[in-house]
């Protein structure tokens, strides 16, 4: 029951043929909703704007708007109505009663996309959990949909209510099973992360579709899936950025952010986002060619703040500069984040320059130490080799003398001051 195969948009095919109408508060956000729906494979054919000050707690929209939507449904033969906001379980139910058509809200759409794009065991579990958490309070709304998809008759209303109770219990059990599974996956991930503690980590973060995966591929000559789709990446993939440097550098791709990301998704993806917390440097990738570049930058900065990583060293990368023609736009973008690096992931020389900026960042954090390591401390010597660049090494009577360039943070972790000459 309630497996991920059951669509939250019943009766709709995902082949771009199903026509839907969107209702929302702002044009820009509705444009983004259109892209989300296209990614999902349904076709937005009409939209209706509503004013935020007229929100009705029971049905979200007023009588007049309901009539307006009904007219548009008929005119465009739409199969569903999508709201560009988060609706309460009651609002969902009430609006559907009025419109007699499938209704979904923005968090529901995003959860559907995540369900379609999850590939690995971890992201599948994370999405399944987020989806059930979204469904639980809304079961009586979605129950009839699922019943229809299962091919059963909906029976009497009384039967339905009883069945919803049964489903609610099943959903709760499944949520706790998934939580447990996720905990054990998280443990595996922690072990993997611990194995990477001797490398420097650069995490690519940013709004969905900014070009994070494309940049990661270009920087590391690898092949992470990059697509002109929202939320193409759901898993954090790690690639060697410079295996020959000492210490080695790795780059980590992450799940994209979006305005009003459903809270259940953020909670479920906590372990993937831990990779961001663990990084030594964040590359905040912005799609500079997007008309909403500034807003997308702000949303990402806000999520970084919520993740409590906003004080980590960070380089803003203005990507897709090949699509930005006017000098005015370029300057304006630079104002958003001074010191940002403007690139196109498609231009080799830009990627090379970005790589140099990253290397210089770490280079500047390197300190030079002169130390004498007693012969009994061979373990420390191994660490020196794996973490630093040895410039001078000389055997002395009481130990080995090293002049070494090493990351400041590691110098402290390895307590080099104890061996200072």
Taking the complex as a whole, how short is the minimal distance between the CB of residue 231 and ligand GTP, in angstroms?
A: 5
Q: Does 230 bind ligand GTP (CB under 6 A)?
A: yes
What, of Mg ion, ligand GTP, none, does residue 227 touch, CB below 5 to 8 Å by kind? ligand GTP
The C-alpha R_g of the chain, in whole angstroms, comes to 26
Residue number with CB closer to ligand GTP (61 or 343): 343
Q: Does 210 bind ligand GTP (CB under 6 A)?
A: yes
Residue number with CB closer to Mg ion (36 or 135): 36
User: 């999520």: which residue's tokens?
Assistant: 303
Backbone angles phi, psi at 389, to 5 degrees: -110, 120
CA-CA distance, 342 to 403, in Å (whole number)? 37
Taking the complex as a whole, how short is the minimal distance between the CB of residue 306 and ligand GTP, in angstroms?
A: 18
Residue number with CB closer to ligand GTP (7 or 233): 233
Taking the complex as a whole, how short is the minimal distance between the CB of residue 122 and ligand GTP, in angstroms?
A: 16
Q: Does 345 bind ligand GTP (CB under 6 A)?
A: yes
Q: Does 65 bind ligand GTP (CB under 6 A)?
A: no
Residue number with CB closer to ligand GTP (92 or 321): 321
Only one of the segments 128-136, 156-164, 229-237, 276-284 lies at the binding site for ligand GTP (rule: CB under 6 A); that segment is 229-237
Residue number with CB closer to ligand GTP (291 or 368): 291
CB burial class (10 A; 0-12, 13-18, 19+) of residue 316? buried
Residue number with CB closer to ligand GTP (163 or 268): 268
Taking the complex as a whole, how short is the minimal distance between the CB of residue 218 and ligand GTP, in angstroms?
A: 8
CA-CA distance, 59 to 20, in Å (whole number)? 19
Residue number with CB closer to ligand GTP (18 or 208): 208
Only one of the segments 17-25, 46-54, 320-328, 394-402 lies at the binding site for ligand GTP (rule: CB under 6 A); that segment is 320-328
CA-CA distance, 99 to 93, in Å (whole number)? 10
Total number of residues that touch ligand GTP (CB under 6 A): 23
- Of 91, 87, 23, 93, the closest CA to residue 51 belongs to 23
Q: Does 323 bind ligand GTP (CB under 6 A)?
A: yes
Q: Does 238 bind ligand GTP (CB under 6 A)?
A: no
What, of Mg ion, ligand GTP, none, does residue 208 touch, CB below 5 to 8 Å by kind? ligand GTP
Only one of the segments 80-88, 136-144, 223-231, 260-268 lies at the binding site for ligand GTP (rule: CB under 6 A); that segment is 223-231
Three-point CA angle 170, 174, 175, nearest 5°: 115
What, of Mg ion, ligand GTP, none, does residue 230 touch, CB below 5 to 8 Å by kind? ligand GTP
Q: Does 244 bind ligand GTP (CB under 6 A)?
A: no
What, of ligand GTP, Mg ion, none, does residue 47 touch, CB below 5 to 8 Å by kind? none
Taking the complex as a whole, how short is the minimal distance between the CB of residue 415 and ligand GTP, in angstroms?
A: 40
- Of 89, 4, 93, 77, the closest CA to residue 45 belongs to 77
Q: Does 344 bind ligand GTP (CB under 6 A)?
A: yes
Chain residues binding Mg ion by CB under 5 A are 212-213, 232-233
Q: Does 237 bind ligand GTP (CB under 6 A)?
A: no
- Of 100, 71, 104, the closest CA to residue 86 belongs to 104
Taking the complex as a whole, how short is the minimal distance between the CB of residue 178 and ligand GTP, in angstroms?
A: 23
Residue number with CB closer to ligand GTP (134 or 231): 231
Candidates 102, 111, 226, 251: give the one binding ligand GTP (CB under 6 A): 226
Residues that bind ligand GTP (CB under 6 A): 206, 208-214, 226-228, 230-233, 256, 319-320, 322-323, 344-346
């Amino acid at each position: 029951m309630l497996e991920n195969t059951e669509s939250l948009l019943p009766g709709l095919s995902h082949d771009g043929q199903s026509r839907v109408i969107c209702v929302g508060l702002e044009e820009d956000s509705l444009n983004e909703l259109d892209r989300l729906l296209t990614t999902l494979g349904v076709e937005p054919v009409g939209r209706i704007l509503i004013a935020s000050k007229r929100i009705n707690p029971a049905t979200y929209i007023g009588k007049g708007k309901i009539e307006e939507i009904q007219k548009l449904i008929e005119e465009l033969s739409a199969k569903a109505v999508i709201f560009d906001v988060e609706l309460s379980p009651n609002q969902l139910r009430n609006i559907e009663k009025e419109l007699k058509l499938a209704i979904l809200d923005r968090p529901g759409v995003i959860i559907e996309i995540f369900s379609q794009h999850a590939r690995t065991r971890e992201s599948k579990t994370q999405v399944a959990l987020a989806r059930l958490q979204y469904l639980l309070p809304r079961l009586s709304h979605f129950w009839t949909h699922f019943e229809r998809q299962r091919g059963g008759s909906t029976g009497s209303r009384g039967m339905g209510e009883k069945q919803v109770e049964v489903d609610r219990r099943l959903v709760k059990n499944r949520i706790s099973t998934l939580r447990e599974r996720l905990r054990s996956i998280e443990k595996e991930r922690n072990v993997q992360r611990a194995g990477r503690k001797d490398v420097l980590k650069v995490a690519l973060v940013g709004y969905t579709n900014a070009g994070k995966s494309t940049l990661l591929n270009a920087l590391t000559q690898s092949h992470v899936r990059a697509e002109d789709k929202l939320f193409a990446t759901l898993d954090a993939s790690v690639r060697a950025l410079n295996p020959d440097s000492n210490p080695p550098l790795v780059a980590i791709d992450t799940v994209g952010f979006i305005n009003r990301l459903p809270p259940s998704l953020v909670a479920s993806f906590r372990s993937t986002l831990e990779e961001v917390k663990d990084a030594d440097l964040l590359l905040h990738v912005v799609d500079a060619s997007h008309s909403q570049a500034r807003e997308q930058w702000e949303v990402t900065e806000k999520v970084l703040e919520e993740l409590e990583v906003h004080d980590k060293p960070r380089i803003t990368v203005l990507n897709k500069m090949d699509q930005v023609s006017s000098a005015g736009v370029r300057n304006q973008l630079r104002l958003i984040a001074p010191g940002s690096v403007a690139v196109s992931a498609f231009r080799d020389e830009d990627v090379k320059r970005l790589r140099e900026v990253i290397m210089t960042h770490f280079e500047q954090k390197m300190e030079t130490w002169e130390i004498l390591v007693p012969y009994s401390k061979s373990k420390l010597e191994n660490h020196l080799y794996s973490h630093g660049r040895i410039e001078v090494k000389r055997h002395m009577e009481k130990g080995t003398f090293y002049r070494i360039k090493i990351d400041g943070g590691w110098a402290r972790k390895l307590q080099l001051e104890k061996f200072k000459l």
